[in-house]
Amino acid sequence: MKDKLKVIKIGGEIIDNERKLNEALKDFAAVKGKKILIHGGGKLASKLSHKMGIEPQMHEGRRLTNQHDLEIVTMVYAGLINKKIVAKLQSLTCNALGLSGADANAILSEKRAVHKIDYGLVGDVVKVNYEVVNLLLKHGITPVFCAITHDNKGQLLNTNADTVASEVAIAMCSLFETELIYCFERKGVLYDLDNPDSVIPQINSENYKGLLKKGIINDGMLPKLKKGFDAIEHKVSKVIIGNAGVINNNKEELFTCLTL
């Protein structure tokens, strides 16, 4: 029987709000057993871009990335946010190690091909080095990944954090019974954005199509759902979308569960 592993991605307003971030990290540190944290960048990179006179460009919840954008997101994601999270986890007696995909060749990507949209220096994950990740876990070290990967040719690539979380969870399935949790400010996927309690408790591949047609799922939620279903199809045992309360399986919390 395989050991259990939780892959938890935090993003959205949790990253931007220090109180919410501290609460989420406290819950994460309290998770028993092996765990991996993946974090997004919140709004800080966009705020810094605006200050530098660079207007961020987005398409379906994903950032278009030129060289200037890449420098900004690398500084913010792999630098300030990653190390802030690691320092907080250390204070909570969680022995964390902050990583980009380039570190220890942990996450290899390739530059996204240009079709209708040129995403620029954006990477699609090709391989997760699950052996090096497992080596850290074996030694009681909790990996904390930002969403910067590399192409093994010296080029860093901006990669969607939801994608990184899904690909890491899928890769670790060969060694663990893996659960993937997407954690952000909402209680789950909502029927009505104006009603925070209108959580869709379960989404399967069929009603997902209907929710897409109705426009209920859009923008930043698209990568979560797409990669969440990809994870389920590749033997990840459970995919949950919710707020920080789901990190430690608070039974009172509403959340969305993805199923086939």
Domains plus CATH for the chain? 3-258 (3.40.1160.10)
pLDDT of residue 222: 85
Q: Which residue has the higher pLDDT, 147 or 44?
A: 147
Output helix, strand, coil percentages for the chain, rounded to the nearest 5. 40, 25, 35
C-alpha–C-alpha distance, residues 124 and 18, integer Å: 30
C-alpha–C-alpha distance, residues 158 and 69, integer Å: 9
CA-derived radius of gyration, the chain: 17
Burial of 145 (0-12, 13-18, 19+ CB in 10 A): buried
Q: Percent of the chain beyond pLDDT 90?
A: 72
Pairing mode, strands 148-150 and 142-145: unpaired
pLDDT of residue 162: 94
What's this model's pTM, rounded to 2 decimal places? 0.93
- Written as six digits, the tokens of 147 are 């969403």
Distance (Å) of CA 176 to CA 6, 46, 137, 235: 9, 36, 11, 10
Say if residue 59's pLDDT is above 80: no
Angular region, 65: left φ>0, alpha ψ -120 to 50, beta rest: beta
The answer to whether the beta carbons of residues 33 and 5 sit under 8 Å apart is yes
Helix (H, G, I), strand (E, B) or coil at 155: coil
- Written as six digits, the tokens of 109 are 């990507």
Q: Which residue has the higher pLDDT, 217 or 4?
A: 4
Q: Percent of the chain beyond pLDDT 70?
A: 98
| Cross-strand partners of 97 | 143
Least confident of 54-68, 144-158, 245-259: 54-68
Pairing mode, strands 107-111 and 156-158: unpaired
Signed CA dihedral, 33, 38, 44, 48: sign only: positive
